[in-house]
Amino acid sequence: MKVSEEDVRIPGAGHEIRAKVLTPVGGGTWPGVVLYSDIFQLTESTLRTCRRLAAAGLIVCVPEIYPRGELAGVALEFDDAGKQAGLAGAAAMSTAEFDEDRVSVLDYVTARPDVTTVHAAGYCLGGHLAFRAAFDERVTSTVCFYPTGLHNGALGADHADSLAAAARIRGQLMIIFGSRDPHVPAAARAQILAALYEAGHEDLELHVYAGGEHAFMRDVGPRYDPELTDRGLDEAVSFLRGRSLQ
């Protein structure tokens, strides 16, 4: 399926949020997914993933995660300078600001006449943001790819403590980890799972891919694993397009 792309500006609270919206060609209505990037923002690597999801029958809205300050509109390079800039961008954002922007983006996606149901997904820091997007009752299902900071509350400038609010999630949840992820090692994964079970999410889907490193789905650099990427995307598409509703 072919995909069309458009640049949009979503009104925030005193600022604009730049986003890309990728839509299956041919019209009609589709499930909508707010997809949060890693700390590098709207890179071509992230957009390649978005194109694959849209080609599978999803409307994908991928917003910048740092719409305030000097990183607004900037796609960072996958190098040390880009990493440090991305981490600094996260450290400059409060949990309240991340949440405020999330509401603005969900308002935009929900209002689109071509969107049927609303979902969330994200990678790394974006996986944590997707988890928080699931707090919104409009979000039907959420896929978090190797989310960072869930086990220790780290997100931005303050302590998010997102796991403590997991009972607020009403939709279905899928989390995908790599077994060799140093940011979310086995003990952290066990902590996350225990907290989610305690919050009542006993029917969540958890996948731990043997040999997967952190950011194994980023198709740039030595950690990229094409086989695990295909597996993760297949699982996510099946889940987001309706398996989570059965």
Residues known to be catalytic: 124, 181, 214
CA–CA dist 100, 136 (Å, integer): 12
CA–CA dist 22, 3 (Å, integer): 6
Write out the H or E segment, with its range, that includes residue 95: helix 95-111
Q: 145 is written with which tokens?
A: 């790819």
Q: 23 is written with which tokens?
A: 């839509």
Query: Quick one: CA dihedral 236, 242, 245, 246, positive or negative?
Result: negative
Q: 241 is written with which tokens?
A: 């397009």
User: Can you give the C-alpha Rg of the chain in angstroms?
Assistant: 16
CA distance to 19, 54, 78, 102, 132, per residue, from 31 (Å): 17, 10, 31, 18, 19
Q: Are strands 16-24 and 3-11 parallel, antiparallel or unpaired?
A: antiparallel
CA–CA dist 144, 36 (Å, integer): 10
